[in-house]
Amino acid sequence: MKYFEPKSGWMEHGFTYRPGEDLEASTPVMRPRKINEQPWLRKAAEKNPGLLEDFFWKDGMMRVSGREYNGLIESPCYQRGKLSCLFCHSLHDSNPVYQLSEGMDSNHACLQCHTSIADKIQEHTHHAPSSQGSQCYNCHMPNTTYGLLTAMRSHEISNPSVAESVEVGRPNACNLCHLDKTLQWTASSLKNWFGKESPKLSDEHKSVPAGILWALKGDAGQRALAAWHFGWKPAQDASGSKWIAPFLAPLLNDSYAAVRYIAGKSMKTLPDFAEFRFDFVAGPEDREKAAKDASAFWKSKTAAAVMTPADLNVIAKLLDQQDQRPIHLRE
């Protein structure tokens, strides 16, 4: 495999790549899992130790938008199959939104190759055939990529894994939908369904829903993804939405404007919050007041019988432990 080597004249005439050729023969494609084969990337990472963290999760999966090809080429369907961008996307014969070809917003995108699963969807997914849990992309291309003030689908096709959440910090597909469930719950489900062994889990992972941990204790990237999923309809359908507001409210006063923006947008999707007013660029005092107002409003509208998935007292504790490392995600 050839990797990028600057050639004379490239600044005047651009890269020599032409459609259909091996892109990596003429253009640098960052692949941290192959960093020993990419001396230019190794040198860049040595000069800037935080460089790879700006683009990738710790295991080398992309965590920012605009680099879907980087994810695609790390996918088994690409490496061991014939998958390409054109299997799902079309520049001209598609809706401009996502540029998906006709029918590729459904399981047909995957079943055109994985034909053996077509007649046993429920057996494979352990979810009702018509549910969001039986949509291939929700499990194998979850929204773990951040960009443009939103969450986007990973283009590295993978399987749900609790280990990746514990060891890498990347939210897994199961808990991004079942926001009210713990990593222990997910580990048990994956073991029962697919025989996956669970990694060692802390008491916190056994008692506090993963969605809440990512939202209140995670780094800015994790908080942004969690905030977005709190407003994602499939997650609300799976987890319920009446309990979310007090856990989302602290993010209205987050140190990152992007997290505040996403949290405010998700807050408006919750019951009784459609008219909730929030300015994500307001000063700290106004933001703190908005967070308190959101919690108070939730209490005034929520029947006492409605239980939250974790004791409300855990909020302050998790906020005290929040990962405040500066995050620079280069979308």
How many structural domains are present in the chain? 1
The helices-and-strands tally (H runs, E runs) of the chain is: 18, 2
Q: Would you say 260 and 253 are in contact if contact means Cβ atoms under 8 Å apart?
A: yes
Examine residue 81 and state whether it is found in any structural domain, yes or no: no
Q: What is the mean pLDDT of the chain?
A: 92
> Looking at residue 1, what is its pLDDT?
39
Residue with tokens 């680099």: 67
Q: For residue 150, give the H/E element and its range.
A: strand 150-152
Enclosing domain of residue 331:
160-331
Does the pLDDT of residue 10 top 90, yes or no? no
Examine residue 248 and state whether it is found in any structural domain, yes or no: yes
Q: Would you say 327 and 225 are in contact if contact means Cβ atoms under 8 Å apart?
A: no
pTM of the prediction?
A: 0.93
Residue with tokens 């499990």: 139
Examine residue 204 and state whether it is found in any structural domain, yes or no: yes
Examine residue 238 and state whether it is found in any structural domain, yes or no: yes
Local confidence band at 88 (pLDDT 50, 70, 90 cut-offs): very high
Local confidence band at 28 (pLDDT 50, 70, 90 cut-offs): confident
Examine residue 310 and state whether it is found in any structural domain, yes or no: yes
Beta bridge pairs of residue 152:
145
From 7-21, 169-183, 202-216, 305-319, the region with the lowest mean pLDDT: 305-319
Q: What is the pLDDT of residues 190-248, one digit of tens each?
A: 999 999 999 999 999 999 999 999 999 999 999 999 999 999 999 999 999 999 999 99
> Looking at residue 2, what is its pLDDT?
45
Examine residue 145 and state whether it is found in any structural domain, yes or no: no
